[in-house]
């Protein structure tokens, strides 16, 4: 098929579509803002296209190009009958796209999309609250005062508020008065209008423009007095107020309507003198209060320990004192239960005071049996020495042996050399 034949078919098909469009009489639809005045047409009500309320009845209608079905709520497309060839050509050339289903519409939030043949329609459904009206697609406040639709009386002035209004009296009333609907000032009965006009124990008396409170009379028995609010009788604390008759050394205990005098801890009541006397706990509980010694004190007692012991944290038991921590001995100290013992190192002996150590003179005690030549005492020990010339000390440190002159000179040289070097 040549190109010019295709062009002729396309032109004929276009003419057919134009004729079909004119035959269908599809007119462009103008969408206006729809004001739903009643909740019956909210969200388009039961209607598929357009909902109207006429004389409190719901009437459904269809968009241009549609006809109302027998159920009174649904709509169907209207296509006039041409010839079979025209209908076939129009059906083959036009297939309507439902923009509302494919989300190809441009309706804004608050608008509802309705599909039409070859297009779609956006309907804005907007309902305003009481005191507002629809204007330019928005809910604006109704000024009831300006329109004269308020219900204020003669002695009141209308004041507009958002969505409503209030009536302000032309005449101001003083405190304690209330304005009636006619604008007159009447007295307020605070005794009935207030939940608690007076404190408990008081009666409320209404006056013109105010009220007063009068205390109730309350008679209490001995040991009680009226509370501050006058509603009940409360106990008198004789101990706190100082009206009791407890003697010296006694403690006052308050009781409901009365009081009681008791002795302090460590004291007992003497019926003869009617006073509190000291209780000797050490006599009453021998051997049960303190581990070592018990000493009575006024109202109590005190525990003490023997020498070499100290009082424990509980104030009753005694624990051993480690005297060696204070270094009482000159050399060695051994702690024992309740005391300590001093000891001396080898070559020393304990002195008469039991603390210090004195050197033992081994040379004097040995009677010349320790060294072969001469014994010299040193602190804690002794030392044997040989004659200055011709002898030297043996390896045992006690006996002397003879040496030659050459060996003596060599020993002397080493001795002098050590002195020179040091």
Render pLDDT for 159-205 as a digit per residue (tens, 0 to 9): 999 989 988 877 778 888 887 777 778 899 999 989 889 887 788 98
Q: Which of 116-130, 225-239, 393-407 has the highest mean pLDDT?
A: 225-239
Which of 307, 306, 305, 308 shows the shortest CA–CA distance to 323? 308
Percent of the chain with pLDDT over 70: 82
List all residues 6 or more positions away from 109 whose beta carbon is below 8 Å from its beta carbon: none
What is the average pLDDT value for the chain, to the nearest integer?
79
Residue pair 167/152 in contact (Cβ under 8 Å)? The answer is yes
From 27-31, 61-65, 253-257, 328-332, the region with the lowest mean pLDDT: 27-31
Mean pLDDT of 88-103: 64
Alpha-carbon distance 220 to 203, whole Å?
Answer: 19
Please determine, for residue 89, whether its predicted confidence score (pLDDT) is greater than 70. no
Number of other CB atoms surrounding residue 397 within 10 Å: 10
Confidence tier at 110 by pLDDT (50, 70, 90): low
Mean pLDDT of 354-359: 90
Residue pair 391/402 in contact (Cβ under 8 Å)? The answer is yes
Residue pair 374/364 in contact (Cβ under 8 Å)? The answer is no
Question: Given this model, what pLDDT does residue 362 score?
Answer: 84
Mean pLDDT of 17-25: 34
Question: Given this model, what pLDDT does residue 66 score?
Answer: 80
**Cα atoms found within 13 Å of the Cα of residue 290, Cβ hemisphere only:** 20
Long-range contacts formed by 298-307: CB under 8 A, 24+ apart:
298/266, 299/264, 299/265, 299/266, 299/267, 300/265, 300/266, 306/338, 307/338, 307/339
Question: Given this model, what pLDDT does residue 324 score?
Answer: 92
DSSP result, 105-158: --PPTTEEEEEETTEEEEEEEE-PPTTEEEETTEEEE--HHHHT-----TTEEE
For the purposes of burial, counting CB atoms within 10 Å of the CB of 403, is it exposed (0-12), middle (13-18) or buried (19 or more)? middle
For the purposes of burial, counting CB atoms within 10 Å of the CB of 337, is it exposed (0-12), middle (13-18) or buried (19 or more)? exposed
Alpha-carbon distance 304 to 310, whole Å?
Answer: 8
Confidence tier at 145 by pLDDT (50, 70, 90): very high
Which of 416, 412, 396, 395 shows the shortest CA–CA distance to 404? 412
Q: In the chain, what are the domains?
A: 3-127 (2.10.25.10), 239-278 (2.10.25.10), 328-360 (2.10.25.10), 368-421 (2.10.25.10)
Please determine, for residue 33, whether its predicted confidence score (pLDDT) is greater than 50. no
Confidence tier at 108 by pLDDT (50, 70, 90): confident
What six digits make up the tokens of 222?
């001995």
Residue pair 221/233 in contact (Cβ under 8 Å)? The answer is yes
Alpha-carbon distance 379 to 383, whole Å?
Answer: 10
Higher per-residue confidence, 248 vs 277: 277
What are the tens digits of pLDDT across the range 336-353?
898 999 999 988 988 888
Higher per-residue confidence, 75 vs 3: 75
- Helix (H) / strand (E) containing 16: helix 3-24
Question: Given this model, what pLDDT does residue 422 score?
Answer: 60
Residue pair 58/52 in contact (Cβ under 8 Å)? The answer is yes
List all residues 6 or more positions away from 331 whose beta carbon is below 8 Å from its beta carbon: 342, 343, 344, 345, 348, 357
Question: Given this model, what pLDDT does residue 302 score?
Answer: 94
List all residues 6 or more positions away from 271 whose beta carbon is below 8 Å from its beta carbon: none
Q: Write the Ramachandran bin of 293: left for phi over 0, alpha for psi from -120 to 50, otherwise beta.
A: beta
Confidence tier at 124 by pLDDT (50, 70, 90): low
Please determine, for residue 17, whether its predicted confidence score (pLDDT) is greater than 70. no
Confidence tier at 247 by pLDDT (50, 70, 90): confident
Alpha-carbon distance 331 to 345, whole Å?
Answer: 7
Residue length, the chain? 422
Which of 316, 360, 322 shows the shortest CA–CA distance to 338? 322
Alpha-carbon distance 386 to 375, whole Å?
Answer: 9
Question: Given this model, what pLDDT does residue 311 score?
Answer: 93
What are the tens digits of pLDDT across the range 250-303?
889 999 999 998 898 888 888 788 788 888 999 988 888 999 999 999 989 999
Which of 259, 263, 239, 260 shows the shortest CA–CA distance to 249? 263
Percent of the chain with pLDDT over 90: 20
Question: Given this model, what pLDDT does residue 274 score?
Answer: 78
Mean pLDDT of 209-213: 91
Higher per-residue confidence, 314 vs 181: 314
**Cα atoms found within 13 Å of the Cα of residue 93, Cβ hemisphere only:** 19
Alpha-carbon distance 299 to 279, whole Å?
Answer: 7
Question: Given this model, what pLDDT does residue 94 score?
Answer: 52
């Amino acid at each position: 098929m040549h190109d010019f034949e295709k062009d002729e078919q396309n032109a004929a098909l276009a003419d057919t579509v134009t004729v079909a469009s004119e035959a269908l009489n599809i007119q462009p639809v103008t969408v206006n803002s729809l004001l739903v005045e009643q909740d019956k047409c909210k969200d388009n009500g039961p209607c598929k296209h357009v909902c109207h309320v006429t004389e409190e009845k719901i009437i459904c209608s269809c968009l241009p190009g549609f006809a109302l079905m027998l159920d009174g709520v649904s709509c169907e497309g209207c296509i006039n009958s041409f010839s079979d060839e025209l209908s076939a050509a129009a059906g083959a050339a036009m297939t309507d796209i439902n923009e509302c289903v494919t989300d190809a519409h441009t309706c804004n939030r608050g608008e509802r999309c309705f599909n039409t043949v070859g297009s779609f329609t956006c309907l804005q459904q907007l309902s305003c609250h009481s005191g507002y009206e629809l204007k330019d697609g928005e809910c604006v406040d109704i000024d009831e005062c300006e329109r004269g639709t308020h219900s204020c009386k003669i002695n009141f002035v209308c004041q507009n508020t958002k969505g409503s209004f209030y009536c302000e009296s032309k005449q101001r009333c003083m405190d304690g008065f209330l304005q009636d609907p006619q604008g007159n000032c009447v007295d307020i009965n605070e005794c009935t209008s207030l939940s608690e006009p007076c404190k408990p124990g008081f009666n409320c008396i209404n006056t013109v423009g105010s009220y007063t409170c009068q205390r109730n009379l309350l008679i209490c028995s001995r040991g009680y007095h009226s509370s501050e609010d006058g509603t009940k009788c409360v106990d008198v604390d004789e101990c706190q107020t100082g009206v009791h008759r407890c003697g010296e050394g006694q403690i006052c205990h308050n009781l409901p309507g009365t009081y009681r005098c008791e002795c302090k801890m460590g004291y007992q009541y003497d019926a003869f003198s009617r006073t509190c006397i000291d209780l000797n706990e050490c006599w009453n509980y021998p051997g049960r209060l303190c581990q070592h010694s018990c000493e009575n004190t006024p109202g109590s007692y005190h525990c003490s320990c023997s020498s070499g012991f100290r009082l424990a944290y509980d104030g009753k038991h005694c624990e051993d004192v480690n005297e060696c921590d204070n270094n009482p001995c000159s050399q060695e100290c051994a702690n024992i239960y309740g005391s300590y013992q001093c000891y001396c190192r080898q070559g020393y002996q304990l002195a008469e005071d039991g603390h210090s150590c004195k050197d033992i003179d081994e040379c004097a005690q040995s009677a010349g049996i320790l060294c072969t030549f001469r014994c010299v005492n040193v602190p804690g020990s002794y030392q044997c020495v040989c004659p200055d010339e011709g002898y030297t000390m043996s390896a045992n440190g006690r006996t002397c042996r003879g040496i030659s002159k050459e060996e003596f000179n060599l020993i002397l040289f080493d001795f002098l050399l050590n002195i020179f070097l040091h």
